[in-house]
Amino acid sequence: MPSRALDGLRKLAGALASPLVPEDYLDLFDPLRSGADLRGRVVSVTHETPDAVTTTIRPGKGWRGHVPGQYIRIGVDIDGVRHWRAYSLTSRTHPADGLITITTKAIPEGKVSNHLVAGLLTPGTLVHLDQATGDFTLPTPAPARTLFITAGSGITPVMGMLRNRLGDLADVVHLHISPTAAASLFLTERQSYAVGSPSAASGPQAGPTAYRLLERHDDTDGFTDLTRDLDALVPDWRERQAWVCGPTGLLDAAELLWATAGLTEALHVERFRPTIIEGGEGGEITFLRSDISVDADGTTPILDAGEDAGILMPSGCRMGICFGCVVTLREGAVRDLRTGELTIAEPGDDLTIQTCINAVAGTCDIDL
Amino acid sequence: MTLAPERPLLSPTEPHHVGAVHAAAAHHDGSTRIRNATPAAQRPAYKKSGRPNPAAHLTPEQIEELGRELDAIQREVMDSRNAADAAYIRRIIQVQRSLELGSRAVLLFSGVKVKGIRPAWWLGTAGLSLAKILENMEIGHNVLHGQWDWMRDPKIHSQRWEWDFVSPSKQWQHTHNQVHHTYTNVLGRDNDLGYGILRVDPDQRWSLFFLFQPLWHIGNALMFEYSIAAYDLELGGYVARRKRMSAEEKAAFRAKAAETLAKVKAQATKDYLAHPAMALPFGGPSNAWHTLTANIVANLVRNVWANTVIICGHFPQGIETFDNTDIDTETRGEWYLRQMLGSGNISGSKLMHIMTGNLSHQIEHHLWPDMPSNRYAEVAPKVKALMAKYDLPYIEGPLLKQAGSVYAKVVRYSLPNKVEGRRRRDIIRLAAKKAWRSRSFGRFA
C-alpha cells in the first residue's frame, strides 16, 4: 500500500478512536498481535528445584528474538499491582514452538520471585514484556577458550548460552557454585554436557566441545572464595575469556582478580541485582531533569523540599487527595507520611508518586 | 500496520532547568494540612446566615475522634485493594469499549427503515449513550481521581487518561480534584457550588442574573460537557477580569484555550464527522445523517444524565455550605466533617451505582476521593453508622427525589432571600434598575 494511503488510514483510525488510540480497541481482540505493546501469555510453570521455577511464555507477535545471555523485563500483576523484574532468558533462540523461558529462584522478600515459585502465576495469564536486552553475550566467532563462573540463579544467562552455543565452543570450563546439590539449577542437564558423559557423544550438543563442569556445593565443599580457590580450581583461568554471573560478592571478587592480573578485557560480568534499595528515614532527593539534589528529613514532603530548592513542582491540594502533584520516581524509596507505607522503585520501574504525602526514605530520583 | 503507539499528552510540562546545585531543604512540619493537629475552638451554634450549625453539638475532641474512626475505615479498604478490584475496573473498561464498538457498528446501518422505524438508530443510540455514560462516570471520573493509580498500569492512570468529554482531562483535574474536592461547599471558594451560574443556597449572594436561573440550569444540563469545558477553562473569570490581567496571565489562558479547542475539535471530528462518514458506504447520505443525529443524541443523553447525577451530590435539601473562614487551619477531623455534611448520596440498585460512577456514594467519595469506586458500597454502611453515632445527618434519597429537590431550589433561590421590611419584588426592581444604569447583568462584573 502506498505510504500516503497508509497515513490516511492511520489518521482516520485515530480520529475514530479519539480520545483513545485504535490500539485500545484492537487490544480487546488480540493483545498479542503485532504492533501491540509487547505482552506474553504464560504457557506453563515447572519446578526446577524446590525454590526455582521455569516459566514458559508465548510472546506477542512483536517479539524480536534474543541473543543468548540477554534478559527481558517482565511485568507481572500481583494482588492487582504491576511489578516489573528482569530475568535472563534460558530458552533456545529460534524455537520451533515460538516459546521463551525464564528461570526464577525465590529470593527472601522477593515479591515477584516468590509469586512465581509459589505457582501463583497461572497458565493463561497475560504478562507484560520488554524486548530482550543486555550485553552479557558471547561474541561471534566464539572464543577458543571459555570460562563460566556462576553462582545460584546467576546460572540462568549462562544456561541460555550453553543451550544455544555449546556446539560453537571448543573448550569450556564451567565453575558453578550453589549451597547444595539439590538447590543447583539444571545440574543434570549440565552434567550431561560434560566430557565422557554417556549422552555427550550423542546428544544435541555433540560436537568438538570439551565441557568441563566444576560443581561446588557449600555444604560439602565449604565456601568457595575465588581469590583463594580459583588458581587451584582453574589453573589456566588467565588464558580464558570469562563470563561471570552471581551475587555481588562473587562479582566484586572476580573484578578484583582480573584487574590485578591486568586482564579486565577478558572478564564479562552480569550484575543481575545491581542495586539493593532499602528504605531509610530521610535522605537525598535528586531532581533528574533539573540536575538538583537536596537533603530532606523523613517528615518533609518531597513537594516542599522541591519547592524550596526552586524546582517547578506540580502541586494541588497538598493533602493527598487530588493527584495534581504526581511525578515519576525513577529509582529509590519514599515513605507515605500518612501510613508509613514504603514505596520502592528499582531502576526501570518508573513508579508514579504523590509528592505532597511522600517523604524520601533513603534516596530517590525524581523525573523533574 | 502499526498505529499510534501512545495516547497524545495534551499538557507536556516544560522541563525547568536551573543548573547543578545542592541544597538542604528546610524542615517542614505541619505545612501539609493533613498533619495539622491543633484542634479548633468549639463550633458556634449558628452560622453567619443565622441557620443552625449541624456540628455545633460536637466538641473539638469528638471531631478529631470521628476523624480517627474514619481513618481506620479508610485504612482497612486501602490495605485490602487486590486483584479482584483490578479485575473489576478492567472488566468495566472492556464492557464499555465493547459496548461502544458494538453500538458504533450497529449505527453504520442507522438509516435503515424497518416497518416505519429505524431499529439500528434506536439500538445504536441507546448503546452509545450508555457507553458514553460509563466512560465518563464509572471510568473517566474515577481514573482521573487516581483511584486506580495503585495498579501501576500506565493504561489506567490518572496522569495518562484522556476521557470522552470535551474538557481536557488535565484542566478538569485542576478545577475538580483540586479546587472542588479541597474547598467542597465553601462559599466563595468552591465554584462547583452552582458552577458560577446557579444559586442553590440562601447563603450565596443573590444578583439579577439568578432571576433567570431555571433557564440557565436547563441549558447547562443540555450543554453540560461544553459548560464544564468553559468552566474548567475558567472562561467566566477571564471574561470578567480580562482588562485587569497581565500579559502572562493572558498567555496562560490562551494556551489553555488552545488545549480546550484542540480537544473540542477532536471530539467533534470523531462524533460528528468521522463516524457519520463511516456510515456513508453502508447506505448513503441518509445513513450518515442518522449516524450524526445518533451521536448528537447520545452526547445529549450523557449530558443530561451526568448533570442530573452531579447536582444530586451537593445541592439537594439538607446539605450544608460553609463560610470561608478558618478552612486553612482545618484539622483532619474538621475536613472530614465538612466533606460529610457537604455531600449527599443517591440510593438505588447496583446498576444505578455503576451508572452514576458510584457518585451515588458522594459522601464516601468526598471522604476518600482516591478510594476505588467499587469499594464505596462496602464502606457506606460504616460511614452511615458513624454519622448516626455522632448525631450528624446522612443525606440520601432516590435519584428523582434528590434531583427534584435541586430543581425546587433552583426555582426558589432564583429570587432574593426574604428580608424583614422589604418586599422581594422591590429588591428585584432595584437590582434591575442598577443593572440598566451600569449596563451590567450582575454576574461576571
For residue A175, name the pLDDT band (cuts at 50, 70, 90). very high
A225 Cβ contact partners less than 8 Å away, ≥ 6 residues apart? A253
Cross-chain Cβ contact B23/A309 below 8 Å:
yes
Look at A109-113, B83-87, B178-182, B437-441 and tell me which has the smallest mean pLDDT. Answer: B437-441
**pLDDT at residue B11, as a whole number:** 34
A270 Cβ contact partners less than 8 Å away, ≥ 6 residues apart? A69, A88, A134, A136, A154, A157, A243, A244, A245
Residues 163-192 on B with a CB inside 8 Å of A are 163-164, 173-174, 177-178, 181-182
- pTM here is 0.87
**pLDDT at residue B36, as a whole number:** 52
**pLDDT at residue B18, as a whole number:** 33
In-domain check, residue B428: no
**pLDDT at residue A84, as a whole number:** 87
Element (H, E) at A365: strand A358-366
For residue A273, name the pLDDT band (cuts at 50, 70, 90). low
Residues in B closer than 8 angstroms to A301, CB to CB, are 28, 31-32
For residue range A53-108, what is the model confidence (pLDDT) as tens digits? Answer: 999 999 999 999 999 999 998 999 999 999 888 899 999 999 999 999 999 999 88
**pLDDT at residue A203, as a whole number:** 45
Name the residue range of residue B134's domain: 64-412
**pLDDT at residue B393, as a whole number:** 95
Task: Among B178, B264, B269, B278, pick the best mutation site for testing chain A contact (most A Cβ within 10 A).
Answer: B178
CA B405, B310, B206 angle in degrees (round to 5)? 60
- 3-state SS of chain B is CCCCCCCCCCCCCCCCCCCCEEEECCCCCCCCHHHCCCCCCCCCCECCCCCECCCCCCCHHHHHHHHHHHHHHHHHHHCCCCHHHHHHHHHHHHHHHHHHHHHHHHHHHCCCCECCECHHHHHHHHHHHHHHHHHHHHHHHHHHCCCCHHHCCCCCCCCCCCCCCCCCHHHHHHHHHHHHHHCCCECCCCCCCHHHCCCCCCCCCCCHHHHHHHHHHHHHHHCHHHHHHHHHCCHHHHHHHHHHCCHHHHHHHHHHHHHHHHHHHHHHHHHHHHHHHHHHHHCHHHHHHHHHHHHHHHHHHHHHHHHHHHHHHHCCCCCCCECCCCHHHCCHHHHHHHHHHCCCEEECCHHHHHHCCCHHHHHHHHHCCCCCHHHHHHHHHHHHHHHHHCCCCCCEEEHHHHHHHHHHHHHHCCCCCCECCECHHHHHHHHHHHHHHHCCCCCCC
- Mapping DSSP to helix (H, G, I), strand (E, B) and coil, where does residue A38 land? coil
Residues 274-303 on B with a CB inside 8 Å of A are 274-275, 278
Chain B interface includes A21 (CB < 8 A): yes
**pLDDT at residue B323, as a whole number:** 81
For residue A309, name the pLDDT band (cuts at 50, 70, 90). confident
Q: Which domains does chain A possess?
A: 1-26 (no CATH), 31-129 (2.40.30.10), 145-270 (3.40.50.80), 282-366 (3.10.20.30)
Residues 90-109 on B with a CB inside 8 Å of A are 94, 97-98, 101
Interval B296-317 mean pLDDT? 96
Chain B interface includes A61 (CB < 8 A): no
Nearest residue of A to residue B4 by CA position?
A21
Is residue B166 over pLDDT 80? yes
Is residue A208 over pLDDT 70? no
State how far residue B305 is from chain A, nearest Cα, in angstroms: 21
Nearest residue of A to residue B3 by CA position?
A10
**pLDDT at residue B236, as a whole number:** 86
For residue range A94-116, what is the model confidence (pLDDT) as tens digits? Answer: 999 999 999 999 988 888 999 99
Is residue A217 over pLDDT 80? yes
Chain B interface includes A201 (CB < 8 A): no
Chain A interface includes B325 (CB < 8 A): no
CA-CA distance, A206 to A143, in Å (whole number)?
18
**pLDDT at residue B7, as a whole number:** 35
CA-CA distance, A137 to B46, in Å (whole number)?
77
Q: How many domains does chain B have?
A: 1
Chain A interface includes B327 (CB < 8 A): no
Task: Among A79, A82, A313, A321, pick the best mutation site for testing chain B contact (most B Cβ within 10 A).
Answer: A321
For residue range B42-80, what is the model confidence (pLDDT) as tens digits? Answer: 777 777 667 788 888 999 999 999 999 999 999 999 999
State how far residue A111 is from chain B, nearest Cα, in angstroms: 15
For residue range A125-151, what is the model confidence (pLDDT) as tens digits? Answer: 999 999 999 999 999 999 999 999 999
**pLDDT at residue A154, as a whole number:** 94
Chain B interface includes A299 (CB < 8 A): yes
Is residue B13 over pLDDT 60? no
Among the partner-chain residues A12, A311, A322, the one whose CB lies closest to the CB of B274 is A12
In-domain check, residue B429: no
Look at A181-185, A282-286, B19-23, B426-430 and tell me which has the smallest mean pLDDT. Answer: B19-23
Classify residue B379 by burial, with Cβ atoms within 10 Å: 0-12, 13-18, 19+: buried
**pLDDT at residue B43, as a whole number:** 74
Cross-chain Cβ contact A20/B84 below 8 Å:
no
For residue A278, name the pLDDT band (cuts at 50, 70, 90). low
Residues in A closer than 8 angstroms to B151, CB to CB, are 77, 80-82
In-domain check, residue B442: no
**pLDDT at residue A196, as a whole number:** 61
Nearest residue of B to residue A311 by CA position?
B16
For residue range B105-144, what is the model confidence (pLDDT) as tens digits? Answer: 999 999 999 999 999 999 999 999 999 999 999 999 999 9
In-domain check, residue B417: no
State how far residue A123 is from chain B, nearest Cα, in angstroms: 16
Residues in A closer than 8 angstroms to B85, CB to CB, are 80
- Mapping DSSP to helix (H, G, I), strand (E, B) and coil, where does residue A347 land? coil
State how far residue A28 is from chain B, nearest Cα, in angstroms: 7
**pLDDT at residue B32, as a whole number:** 43
Residues 330-349 on A with a CB inside 8 Å of B are 337-339
Cross-chain Cβ contact B150/A80 below 8 Å:
yes
State how far residue A287 is from chain B, nearest Cα, in angstroms: 10
Look at A89-93, B120-124, B175-179, B328-332 and tell me which has the smallest mean pLDDT. Answer: B328-332
CA-CA distance, B399 to B225, in Å (whole number)?
21
Q: What percent of chain B has pLDDT over 70?
A: 89
Interval B181-191 mean pLDDT? 87
For residue B37, name the pLDDT band (cuts at 50, 70, 90). low
> Please, what is the end-to-end C-alpha distance for chain B in angstroms?
55
Burial A179-210 (b: 16+ CB within 10 A, else e): eeeebbbbbeebebbbeeeeebeeeebeeebe
In-domain check, residue B28: no
Among the partner-chain residues A20, A80, A352, the one whose CB lies closest to the CB of B82 is A80
Let me know: does A215 contact A188? Beta carbons within 8 Å: no
For residue range A289-307, what is the model confidence (pLDDT) as tens digits? Answer: 988 899 999 889 999 999 8
**pLDDT at residue A290, as a whole number:** 84
Interval A4-12 mean pLDDT? 92
Cross-chain Cβ contact B1/A35 below 8 Å:
yes
State how far residue B148 is from chain A, nearest Cα, in angstroms: 10
For residue B38, name the pLDDT band (cuts at 50, 70, 90). low
